[in-house]
Amino acid sequence: MTHEFKSAKGLELLDKVRSFCMKLPQVEEKVDGFGHTTFRVKDKPFVMMGENDGQPSMALKTNLTTQEFLLQQEGTAYSKTAYIGHHGWVSIQDTAWVAWSEIEDLMVEGYARTAPKKLVAELMASRPVY
């Protein structure tokens, strides 16, 4: 089984995630041993992506409070990620159901939970305050 992106929808999502994540300090894109495309900081993943039968999906590292909030929403597009969900990971099976700004916020949260404090401080200094 491969998780390689082949569909137009999957390739478009990958490009969108890549263009966002690669702007974060010291992020690398890497295909893991399971064939998932991952975005990592200091070799620790905070976003994992794959595709099955033309349907792209992504998993994001969150804290347990954020995970619980996302899972309890009515009609949620989120689910607890298999095998690693107990560490706060959530999966989005269909990203069309979620606002892109929410996905960006979750990617930043995942990055901040994964990166060393020095890189998080660098990121926060460069982000506009709303």
State whether residue 49 is helix, strand or coil: strand
Supply the pLDDT for residue 1: 40
Which residue(s) pair with 50 in the sheet?
A: 57
pLDDT value of position 2:
52
| Average confidence (pLDDT) over 28-54 | 94
Residue 24, number of CB atoms within 10 A of its CB: 22
The residues near 67 (Cβ < 8 Å, ≥ 6 apart) are 80, 85, 88, 89, 90
pLDDT of residue 50: 94
* Tens of pLDDT, residues 2-36: 578 889 999 999 999 999 999 999 999 999 998 99
The CATH topology of domain 8-120 is Aspartate Aminotransferase, domain 1 (3.90.1150)
Helices (H), the chain: 8-21, 64-72, 100-114, 117-126
pLDDT tens, position by position, 51-108: 988 899 999 999 999 999 999 998 899 999 999 999 999 999 889 999 999 999 999 9
For the chain, the structural domain boundaries read 8-120
pLDDT attached to residue 54: 85
